Structure 1
C-alpha cells in the first residue's frame, strides 16, 4: 500500500514542479538488508579506489613506467575510478534512503557518463592493442610511431569521441516523451529505453551507429592486431613469444571480461529479457563490483614491471 501511495506522490510532484522522478526498482529485500548492502558496497568502493589509484600512482612516480603501454594502463584504471564514482555514491545513498528515486535529467546524465566511460574503455583497449602491435610487429619503427604526441592524441580521442557521440544520444532521449516511471535496475543504464511512450526509429538507428563505431569496429581492429601479433610471435624466437605473452595476455583477459559485461548490458537489457529480479541484481552487481577490481588485479599481477614495483611498495609498508 505504501509503495502505491509513494508512486502517486512522486507523479503529483512531477505535475506541480515539472520535475520527473523515476523509481529504481531493481533492489531485492532492501528494507531487510539495507545496512549489509551499504557496508559491502562501501568497502568495495574504497577497495576499487585504492587498488586502481595505487597502480596509477606507481606509473606516475616511476620513470621506468613512463612508456606508452603503462600510460594506457594508467588511463584505463583512471577510467575505472570514474566509472565507479559515477555509480557508487548514488547507490550508497539509495541503500540508506526510504525512496530509491532519481530525477529524469540526472538519470540521463548518469547513463551518459556510464556509456561514455564504457566506450572509452573499448577505445583505450584499442589504443593498447595498436601499441602492442607496433612494438612486436614493427619494433624498429616503434619510437617513431609511438611518440608522445601520438599517445596524447590517442588518449584524447578515446575520451572525447564517446562524449561527443553520446551527447547527441542524450539530446534525443531528452526530447522523448516517457510513459513509465519505473526502471528495472539500481542505476540508470539501457533500461531508460524501456520507459519511452513510443520507440524512436531515429534513436534506434543512432544507437546501432554508436554500437558499430565505438564497440564493433574497435573490437575487430583489436582482433586484427592480436592475430598479427600471434602470427609474428609464432614465427619469431622464444624471447619474442614470451614478451608477446607477458604484455598481451593481460589486455586480452581485460577485453574478454569487459566484452561479456557490455554484451549483457546492451543486448539483454535492451531486449528486456524476463529475468528474475534477483538474477538481474546479481548481474548488475558483478558489473559494478567485479569489473573495476579485475583491471588492477590483472595488471598488478601479470605485468612484470608493475608487479615488481608493487612488491617493493608492500615490502616498504611492512618494514615500517
Structure 2
C-alpha cells in the first residue's frame, strides 16, 4: 500500500510528559508572544510614522522586525493550542506550511542582517559614496531579494511533499524538513542536494558579513569618528547577528548531532531559542542603542502618558 495516501496528519511528540505544568507554560509562552508583538510593532510603527527614520539602516531594521512577527506566527499560535490540547497533531499540509514559514523566516533574517552589515560597511568604509550607493531604488531591490531568496525553500517543501513517507512521528514541538526527510521511504538525490545548496548559500552570507566587519574594524582603528560610529550603529547589529546565529546553530547542530538522552524540556528550549530570543532581543537592542529610535519612542510614550493624565484630570 502507498503510505502517502494513508498519512494525513503528523504527530508532534515534543510536549509529551509536560501535562503537569502546561498551564504555567501556556501563560509564560503567551506572555513572551505578547512581548514579541509589543516590541516589534513599536519599532515598526515608529520607523513607518517618522519620516526622518526613512533611511537604509532603519528600513532594514523595520523589515527585520516584520520578519520576526512572520516567523513567530508560524510557531506560537500552534504551540499555544498544543499546550492546552491532550493530543499534539498537525495536518499534512499544515506541517509543510509551518516548516516553510520557519525556514523562510530564518533565511530572510540572515539576508536582512547581511544587508545591514553591507549598509554599515558602506557608511564607514566609503562614506563619500554612501548616498550614491544606497539609493532608494537599490534599497528596494535589496529588500525584495532579501525576502524573495528564502522563498526558494518553497521548492524544498514541494519536493518533500511528493515523497513517499513511511511514518508520521516528528520528535519535536514543530515541523522541520530535516525530520520529514527522515520519514521518507527512500532517499531522493534532490532531498540531499537542495539542503546542502541552501546551507552553502547562507554560509556565503556569513563569509560576506565577516569580510565587511574585517574591513570596518580596520577602518575604525584609523579614525576616532569611525570608532564612535561603529559603537553606535555596528555594535547593535553585531549583537543582533550573534544572538540570531548562536540561537539557530544550537538547534541545527543539536538536531543533527545532539544526544537524544537530554531531557525533553532542554530539547524544547533549544528548539525554541531562535523563535524566542532574536524576536525579543533585536528590537530592544536597537530601540535602546539607536538614539533616534529611542528618542522617538520616548517622545511617543511621553505624549500618550500626558494625554492619559489629562483625560483623568478632566474627568475628575
1:176 aligns with 2:163: yes
1:277 aligned partner: 264
User: 1:292 is matched with which residue?
Assistant: 279
1:31 maps to 2:8: no
Q: Does 1:193 align with 2:181?
A: yes
Give how far 1:279 is off.
1.4
1:229–1:200 Cα change, 3 Å: same
**Corresponding position of 2:288:** 301
C-alpha change, 1:199 and 1:273, in structure 2 (3 Å) is: farther
Paired residues of 2:11 and 2:88 also in contact (CA < 8 A): yes
Write the distance in 1 (CA, Å) between the matches of 2:16 and 2:221. Answer: 50
User: Where do residues 64-213 of structure 1 align in structure 2 (5 Å cutoff)?
Assistant: 64-163=52-151, 165-189=152-176, 190-213=178-201
State how 1:205-224 maps to structure 2 within 5 Å. Answer: 205-213=193-201, 215-224=202-211
Aligned CA distance change for structure 1 residues 182 and 19 (closer, same or farther; 3 Å): closer
TM-score (normalizing by structure 1): 0.90
The 3 A distance-change label for structure 1 pair 284 and 208 is same
* Alpha-carbon separation, structure 2, partners of 1:292 and 1:234: 32
**Displacement, 1:317?**
3.2
- Provide the aligned length of Structure 1 versus Structure 2: 303
In the alignment, structure 1 residue 53 sits paired with structure 2 residue 41: yes
Whole-angstrom distance in 2 between the partners of 1:91 and 1:286: 14
1:23–1:101 contact (8 Å) kept in structure 2: yes
Whether the 8 Å CA contact 1:19–1:103 is kept in 2: the answer is no
Q: Please give the per-residue CA displacement for 1:140-186, whole angstroms capped at 9, x wherever unaligned.
A: 111111010111100100011110x2122112211222222211111
Match of 2:305 in 1: 318
Aligned partners of 1:28 and 1:278 also within 8 Å: no
Change (3 A) 1:277 1:193: farther
- TM-score when normalising by structure 2: 0.91
Q: CA 1:19–1:203 in structure 2 vs 1: closer, same or farther (change >3 Å)?
A: closer
Contact 2:243 2:277 in 1 (8 A): no
User: How far off is 1:264 after superposition?
Assistant: 2.3
CA–CA separation in structure 2 for the residues paired with 1:145 and 1:24: 48
Partner of 1:22: 10
Does the CA-based 8 Å contact 1:177-1:196 persist in structure 2? yes
Question: 1:114 & 1:90 partners in 2: Cα distance?
Answer: 13
Q: Is 1:43 aligned to 2:31, yes or no? A: yes
Q: 1:253 and 2:239 equivalent?
A: yes
Work out whether residues 8 and 91 of structure 2, in 8 Å CA contact, stay in contact via their aligned partners in 1. Answer: yes
Separation in structure 2 between the aligned mates of residue 174 and residue 292 of structure 1, nearest angstrom: 29
Q: Return the alpha-carbon distance in structure 1 between the equivalents of residues 274 and 263 of structure 2.
A: 17
Mapped contact 1:191–1:270 kept (Cα < 8 A): no
Instruction: Give the drift of 1:18.
Output: 4.7
Per-residue CA deviations over 1:216-265 (Å, capped at 9, x if unaligned) read: 001110111111111111112x1221012210011111111111122123
Distance 2:287 2:16 in 1: 34
Say whether residues 1:239 and 2:225 are aligned partners: yes
SS at the partner of 1:22?
strand
Confirm or deny that 1:264 pairs with 2:255: no
